[in-house]
Amino acid sequence: MEDQATSYVEIPPGQLPPETYRRVLEEYINREGTDYGEQELSLEAKCDNLARQVDSGEVVILFDFTTSSCSLVTREEAQRLAAAVPESDDAP
């Protein structure tokens, strides 16, 4: 799959309706199966923690046009992904 270019766009959290933003966070948490060590956190606590990271810009929401899905990645990872994707005039 490395030979296939992927196009991403960052979605600022403020552009999502609150319910959609919450569902993106919940879906990511459930998909990742996060482990918080000895003390398990509620879904609400996990969402609150993740929302703080997104709101601070430490974590960003990316929409992948190839898979039509959202992912949450660190700002640094988003920059690496952007650098790896060749620029195209045919952007969706």
- Average pLDDT of the chain? 83
Comparing CA positions, the residue from 4, 13, 18, 14 lying closest to residue 70 is 13
CA dist., res. 17 & res. 5, Å (int): 30
The pLDDT, as a whole number, for residue 15 is: 95
Rg for the chain (alpha carbons), in Å?
Answer: 15
Q: What is the pLDDT of residues 47-76, one digit of tens each?
A: 999 999 999 999 999 998 888 889 999 999
CA dist., res. 19 & res. 52, Å (int): 16
Q: Does domain 17-84 sit in CATH 1.10.10.610? A: yes
Confidence of residue 91 (pLDDT cuts 50, 70, 90): low
